[in-house]
Each structure stands twice: as C-alpha cells, then as structure tokens.
Amino acid sequence: MLLSWIQPMTLLDYPGKVAAIIFTAGCNFRCPFCYNPDFVLPEKLKETMKDLIPEKAFFNFLEKRKEFLEGIVICWWEPTIQKDLYDFVKKIKSFWLLVKLDTNGQDPEILKKLIDENLVDYVAMDIKDSLENYELSWIKNLDMKPYLESIKILMEWKVDYEFRTTIIQWHHTKAKIEQIAKAIKWAKKYCLQNFEWKGKLLDPDFKGKRFTKKELEAMKEIVLRYVEICEIRT
C-alpha cells in the first residue's frame, strides 16, 4: 500500500465514531480542485515516494491506539487503485476495528468483495457531477459502467453508506443537483460538501466559489424530494 499520511484522530470523518484516517497515494481522477496534487500527479508522486509511510509503521500505530479508536477511515486519493487494498483492510479488521472506505466508485469489483466479506462497515462514494455531465466536465473518457455498478451495489443497503458531492458555485446548478438526486433516488444519505479553497490546487488556474448557506439550504430541499437524508457539510 502507498500510504501518504496518518491523521491520528477524527470525530467527523466516520459518523458517530472515534476514528483515525489513513490517506493513500495516487488517483485515477484529475479533479482540478484537488488540493494535494503531490499525491495525485504521477510526476509529483515520484518526488514524494521517499516520504511515504511504511505499512509496518501504520500497523505499529494501530497496535498502540486500538483500545482508543473505534474505526479507521481509508481515503484519498483513491484507495481502490491500490492492488493490495483487500489484504490491507483484512489486516485492519484483525484489530477488531470498524473500516470506512472513501471511493470514487471506479472499481465495483473490489467494492463488492469487501462488502460481501464484511470487511468494510461504511462506504462514502463521491458523485462528482450529474451522471449526464461526467463526460462534459473535468472527468474525461470515463467508463460509466463500473461507476453505475458501484452506485447499484451501495443502493442494495448491504453496508452503511453515503453518496456525496463537492459542490462549486459556477459549476453545480440546482438542476444538476436534482439530476444527481434522481439518479440515486431512495438512497439512504446524500451529502453536499461546500467547496473549500485550500490554496494549492491540481489546476492552479481553477476558480471555484462557495455557495452561501441560503443556496445550500435550497439545494437540500430539492435533494430531500428523492433521498432519505441530506446533510450539508461546510
């Protein structure tokens, strides 16, 4: 596993649990608003490889913290591209910890395997844009079949889950948010994550703006016509 960073504790990233976060390195998307291109772009990743965290160091950390933690969040930049993700998760479960996986949904095969074998307890899947517009936005040449399959797998409710979208004022309209909500109709939970400027973006020319609280509430009202729970994250 390519591990870029450990956050020793979070009370926000795993709903209702005290968790630690392990960040992987590498991604198969190129979202312009990604705020750590050093662990996404191959040419940058080559430079940061020497700073990656050894697996042994991570599991030593778990051994010391397992009595305090309830779960582990495996996230960013895209965990499912790691070939040894299955074995990594299985080893975490040997510590009797819950596992939350954050994913862009491009590998339904490993997602289904982890769910069917009860190796993940919560999945958060990104929906970057309305499904009709993926090819027209910043995700180029995306094969929609695995993406739609991942949505279907989560909608079977075999595991606790949420869908989420990082929303950007000039790009995500009410109409697009409604298209997404329709595509996941009857889903358990959909989160609207307001864009946050972190300074260093994958595309240095990207100009994103945040929605106001009033605008977010208006979008939430639309989403609740189709989805059980809509949460705003600012």
pLDDT digits (tens, 9 = 90+) for 33-53: 888 888 888 888 777 777 889
Its CATH architecture, for the domain 3-233, is: Alpha-Beta Barrel (3.20)
Q: Helices 85-93 and 55-65, interaxial angle, to 10°?
A: 20
Domain ranges of the chain: 3-233
For 58-92, the three-class secondary structure string (H helix, E strand, C coil) is HHHHHHHHCCCCCEEEEECCCHHHCCCHHHHHHHH
In terms of C-beta distances under 8 Å and separation of at least 24 residues, what long-range contacts does 81-84 make, across chains too?
81/26, 81/27, 81/28, 81/107, 82/1, 82/2, 82/24, 82/26, 84/1
Are the CB atoms for 189 and 16 separated by under 8 Å? no
The tens digit of pLDDT for each residue in 131-146 reads 777 655 556 667 788 8
> Is residue 95 very low, low, confident or very high in pLDDT (cuts 50, 70, 90)?
very high
Residue 201 CA: distances (Å) to CA of 36, 76, 207, 208 = 6, 15, 10, 10
> Is residue 14 very low, low, confident or very high in pLDDT (cuts 50, 70, 90)?
very high
Are the CB atoms for 182 and 20 separated by under 8 Å? no
Give yes or no for residue 175 having a pLDDT over 90.
Answer: yes
Note the pLDDT of residue 208: 83
The tens digit of pLDDT for each residue in 17-37 reads 999 999 999 898 888 888 888
